[in-house]
Structure 1
C-alpha cells in the first residue's frame, strides 16, 4: 500500500511539472547576431545554453532579413507582428527604431554611440590589447607593432591597450595607419602601402592585428613582401575564429575570448527584463581569456641558444613539478650564468618562467577542458586541490574555480 502511494505521488509530481511547463509563457526572442564569425556564434551558443536551462524561449532569426536591403525597413513591422518580448542584436542602422518600440533590448555595439534604456554586451578592448602585448613580450619580442582599422573605435582601443602594456616594458609600438580615404577602400592600393610599412619595421617583430580578418590580410601581405612568418614577422589576431585561423598557412595564433559566457549573461539580463525582475546589472562583458598559439607565433625572438633550450624544456615538461635544477641540468649551465641571461633577455628569473608557463597551462585546461579541478591537479603533478589552488591563486590572484566560472566554456 505504501509503495503504491509513493508511485501515485511520483506520478502526480511528474504531471504537475509537465503542466507547469506547458502553462509557462514561451518568451519570444528575436536574434540579430551574425553567424558567420566566431564572436557571433559564441554569443549564440551562450544564449542557447541559457534558454535551455531557464526557458522555454522561441527564437526568431532576423539576421538574414537585415542583410537583405529590401527587407531592412520591414524589421520593426515584423517584430511587432511577431509580438516579440525581447531582442539581442548587434548594433545596426535600425537599432534606434527598434528600441523606440519599447522592446526589451540587449545590444552589442561597435561604435561609441549611446543607446539609453538598453542593456549591452561590452568588449573589454583595452584588456584584449594588453594581453596581446604581454604575450609577444613573453616570447622575447623587443620590436612590437599593431595593425588595425583606423576608423574603428574598437580597433583603436585595442591598439591603445597594446601600446600601453608595451610601454610598461619600455617598448615603443609601431602603429599602422591607413594612408588615405581612397586607399582605405581599395585593398590592392592598401597592400602596396602595407608592404612598405612591414619592410620598414625592425626585425624580428611581433605584430598584433585588431582581429583575425586583419591578421589574415597581414599574413598574405607578408608573403607578397617575401617576409617569413614567424621568423621575421610574428602575427597574432583576436577572436580565435577557427574558420580563419586554421585555414591559413601558416595557421594563425589568436586571442580567445569568453564569448559563450557573455552570451549566457546577456540572455540572463534579457530574461530579467522580460519578466519584470529588477536588475542593476545591465552589462555582459566579453573578456580575453588566453592566447591560442599556432604556427604564426610559434617562435622565440631570442638569440641566446641556452635560453631557447631552457624555455623549450620548461614548455615540454610543464605538466611536471620541475625545479630550477632540472632546467640547469638540461641546459648544462651554471645557475649564476643562466639566471643572468634570463634576467637580461626576459626580465624574469628561471623560477618565474617555470611558474608562468605552468600557470598558463593550468588556465588553458580550466578554460578548454571538462576536467575537474582534482583531475587537473593530478595531471599537473599536484597532490591535492588545495595545493593547486594555492599555486594558481598566488599567480593569477583568483582561485581555479573562480577562473573557470569567469572565463570557461559552458558545458
Structure 2
C-alpha cells in the first residue's frame, strides 16, 4: 500500500518479492485505492496521513512495515530515508564546487513534507556551516524577493526534484540564470524531471529503490516470526548525480577555480598536490592556503572526495571489477581503495554496489532472478 509518487520504491519492493516468491497485490500502484477485498500475510505501506491506509493496517492485524518519514501508526517497524544524511551530502557537494552562499528552499507548506524539510535543511546547514560557508533560508511565498537580496552565485537545495524543477522554472521566469545566478540541487534523481526540466537538475540519489527492497526484506524477517528492530532502519543516500543546474565553479578565487577544474578533469591520473599547484600557477604552500580559505578543506582531501564521488558512480552504473575501478580512479591499490571507501561510506565497495543496483534485479532484467 504505497500511496507514493516515486516508482522506484515500488520497483524495490517488486525486486525482493520476485526473489522471495511472493504474490503482490499492486492495485494501489495504479488506482491509488486501498484494496478492500484483500486479506493476505503482510503489508508494506507508505502510510503518510491517509486514514484509509492506517485503517486497513489496523483491521488486517498482520505484520506491517511502514516507509513514511513522519508520524503514522505508532509501533510499526519502519524503513526510513536518512534525510539528514541527504542534506549533508548535498552540502558537501556544493562546498566542493566552491559555493560560498548556500541555502535551503522551503516549498509550499500546504504540500511539502514538513519532516523532510526540517531534517534535510538541518543536514545541509550542518555541512555548510562546518565548512565555514554562509547558510540561507529561502521561503516559498517570498522566494524571488529573498533571492534577489542574497549574494550571488547562490546555491539552493530543494526537498526533491519536483520542487527543484518548480524552482528552476520560477527563477527563469524572473530573469535569473541557472546556474550562473542560482544553482539548484534536488533529491531523488527522478528520471521524469530530468527529462523535461529546462535545465537538467543535479540531484542526490536517495536510494529509494533500495528503501523498497529493504522494507520487503524486513517484512520477510517479520513473516518468519522474528522480532522487529528496536529503531527504524535508515537508508543512506548513494551519491550526487551532477547535471547542468550546478555546473559552476564559484570559489571566488581564480587560481582555486583553476585547481578545482584541473582536478575535475584529471582526477583519474596520478596527479599530486605539486602538479595541481603548478597548473594553478601558485606554490604548493600558497595554493593550499587559498584552497583552505575558499573551499574549506586541503587539496589532497578534495582530490580524494572527487575520486570517491566517481567511485560511487562507477559502482552504481558499471560492471567494472572493483580492482580495475580502483586503478582507473587513480588509487594506488585496490586494498587502499576499499579501506578508504569503507571509512567514508560505512560500506565496502561490494556492499555499496549491491544497494545501489537493486534496479538490475528487477523481474525481466537480463541479470535478474529467474526463479519465478
Residue equivalent to 2:158: 209
Any runs of at least 4 consecutive aligned residues in structure 1 with deviations exceeding 6 A, and if so which? none
Task: Report the structure, 1 or 2, having the larger helix content.
Answer: 1
> Does 1:106 find its partner at 2:65?
yes
Residue equivalent to 1:270: 219
Equivalences, count: 353
- Kept in 1: contact 2:99–2:154 (CA 8 A): yes
> Does 1:122 find its partner at 2:80?
yes
The structure with the largest alpha-carbon Rg is 1
* Structure 2 CA distance for partners of 1:354 and 1:383, relative to 1, 3 Å: closer
> Does 1:361 find its partner at 2:301?
no
- Kept in 2: contact 1:33–1:88 (CA 8 A): no
Residue equivalent to 1:93: 51
- Offset at residue 355 of structure 1 (A): 1.7
- Offset at residue 291 of structure 1 (A): 0.8
Tell me the SS of whatever aligns to 1:269.
helix
C-alpha RMSD of the superposition: 2.4
Matches for 1:9-28 after TM superposition, within 5 Å = none
| TM-score between both structures, scaled by the size of structure 1 | 0.78
> Does 1:292 find its partner at 2:241?
yes
- Kept in 2: contact 1:245–1:254 (CA 8 A): no
| TM-score between both structures, scaled by the size of structure 2 | 0.86
Give distance in 2, aligned partners of 1:395 and 1:104. Answer: 35
- Offset at residue 32 of structure 1 (A): 3.0
Tell me the SS of whatever aligns to 1:315.
helix
* Structure 2 CA distance for partners of 1:116 and 1:248, relative to 1, 3 Å: same
Give distance in 1, aligned partners of 2:227 and 2:345. Answer: 33
| CA offset digits 1:376-400 (Å, max 9, x no partner) | 1232244643232234345556532
- Kept in 2: contact 1:199–1:225 (CA 8 A): no
Residue equivalent to 2:135: 173
> Does 1:54 find its partner at 2:12?
no
Residue equivalent to 1:84: 40
| CA offset digits 1:82-132 (Å, max 9, x no partner) | x2222222212212211222132222224323x134222312111111222
- Kept in 2: contact 1:144–1:174 (CA 8 A): yes
**Which fold has the larger relative contact order, with Cα–Cα distance below 8 Å and residues 6 or more apart in sequence?**
2
* Structure 2 CA distance for partners of 1:259 and 1:370, relative to 1, 3 Å: farther
- Offset at residue 266 of structure 1 (A): 0.8
- Kept in 1: contact 2:213–2:358 (CA 8 A): no
Consecutive unaligned residues in structure 1, runs of 5 or more: 1-30, 67-71, 180-192
